[in-house]
Amino acid sequence: MGTSVAMIERHYGQTNVLMGLEHETAKRRKPKKAQAADAANPDATANIEAKPTAKKSHKLHKQPIKTDATIPAGAVDMTPVDDGSDEYEICLEQLSFFTYCLRRTGQIRPPEHARRRPMTHDELVTEARAIVARQVTSDMDSEQKDELLEQALMSLLDRKVAMPFFGKAGILGAGGGAAVPGRYLMHDDPRLPPMPEKPTLIDFFEKRILLMARGGQHLLQSARLAQKNGLPEKIVLACLLHDIAVTAHIRSDHGYYGAQLIEPYVDEEVSWAVRYHQALRFYPDPQMNYEYPELYTRTFGEEYRPPAYIQRDYEQARNHKWYMSARLVTCNDLYSFDPNVKVEIDDFKDLIGRNFRQPEEGLGFDNTPSSHMWRSIIWPNNFL
Ligand SMILES: [Fe+2]
Ligand SMILES: [Fe+2]
Dihedral of alpha carbons 308, 313, 314, 319, sign: positive
Distance from Cα 221 to the centre of ligand 2, integer Å:
10
pTM: 0.61
Write the DSSP symbol of residue 361: T
CA–CA dist 302, 300 (Å, integer): 7
> Selecting from 2.40.37.10, 1.10.10.10, 1.10.3210.10, 1.10.8.60, what CATH number does the domain 201-378 have?
1.10.3210.10
List pLDDT tens digits, range 85-119. Answer: 433 333 333 322 233 333 333 333 444 444 334 56
CA–CA dist 250, 335 (Å, integer): 19
Distance from Cα 243 to the centre of ligand 1, integer Å:
5
CB 276 within 8 A of CB 313: yes
- The ligand with the least distance to the CA atom of 326 is 1
pLDDT, mean of residues 276-302: 94
SS3 46: coil
Distance from Cα 116 to the centre of ligand 1, integer Å:
33
Distance from Cα 22 to the centre of ligand 1, integer Å:
28
- The ligand with the least distance to the CA atom of 219 is 2
- The ligand with the least distance to the CA atom of 275 is 1
Distance from Cα 331 to the centre of ligand 2, integer Å:
10
List pLDDT tens digits, range 299-337. Answer: 889 899 999 999 999 999 999 999 999 999 999 998 666
List pLDDT tens digits, range 15-60. Answer: 333 222 222 222 333 344 444 444 444 333 333 333 333 333 323 2
Distance from Cα 255 to the centre of ligand 1, integer Å:
6
pLDDT for position 237: 98
Domain positions in the chain are: 5-173, 201-378
φ, ψ for residue 345 (rounded to 5)?
-65, -30
Distance from Cα 168 to the centre of ligand 2, integer Å:
25
Quote the radius of gyration of the chain (alpha carbons, Å). Answer: 24
Distance from Cα 338 to the centre of ligand 1, integer Å:
19
The pLDDT-based confidence of 371 (bands split at 50, 70, 90) is very high
Distance from Cα 274 to the centre of ligand 1, integer Å:
8
Distance from Cα 181 to the centre of ligand 1, integer Å:
38
**Using CB atoms within 10 A of its CB, is residue 276 exposed (0-12), middle (13-18) or buried (19+)?**
buried
